[in-house]
Amino acid sequence: MSREFRRAMPLLPISMVMQLTELTARQIRYYEEHKLIQPARSEGNRRMFSLDDVDALLEIRELLDQGINMAGIKKVFDMRQVNDVRIYDKTIISDAELRIILREEMLQAQRLQKPSLRQGGLSRFIQIKSK
């Protein structure tokens, strides 16, 4: 679980993601525009990417290479989401239990930092502030 949390943590600026994926900023933003990724934002509106985002971008690149377009990639991703949920259902921790854990963690984090992210997913629980 901690691993997944870490991987969902928005840490990287777009410049790093560009280097890791060899994609241009234009491409990355375009894929976001098409909902293939949803990077978090800092208070100053900078995109902050997680390792999951990087992973997704690398896969987008592969799929594009295979001639698949935005819609197709979206479909592939959506299908995977379904699979993830299925797999997740089989884990020991219940959804409710998970929520409690996440809430606890979030509250603890807020004791240390000011809240700031406005977006869904796990990254909701990770704080990014700018000033």
Partner DNA sequence: AATATTATGTTAGAAAATATAACATATCAC
Partner DNA sequence: GTGATATGTTATATTTTCTAACATAATATT
Q: Three-state DSSP class for 41?
A: strand
Amino acid at residue number 118: R
Q: What is the DSSP string of 23-37?
A: --HHHHHHHHHTTS-
Q: Which stretch binds its own copies (CB under 8 A): 19-27, 30-38, 65-73, 75-83?
A: 19-27
Residue 6 dihedral angles phi and psi, to the nearest 5°: -60, -45
- Picked from its own copies, DNA, none, the partner binding residue 69 (CB below 5 to 8 A depending on kind) is DNA
**What sign has the CA pseudo-torsion 59, 63, 65, 66?**
positive
x/- binding map, residues 38-57, to its own copies, per CB under 8 A? ----x-----x--x--xx--
Chain positions contacting its own copies, by CB under 8 A: 1-3, 5-7, 9, 11-13, 15-16, 19-22, 42, 48, 51, 54-55, 58, 92-93, 95-96, 98-99, 101-106, 109, 112-115, 117, 122-123, 125-130
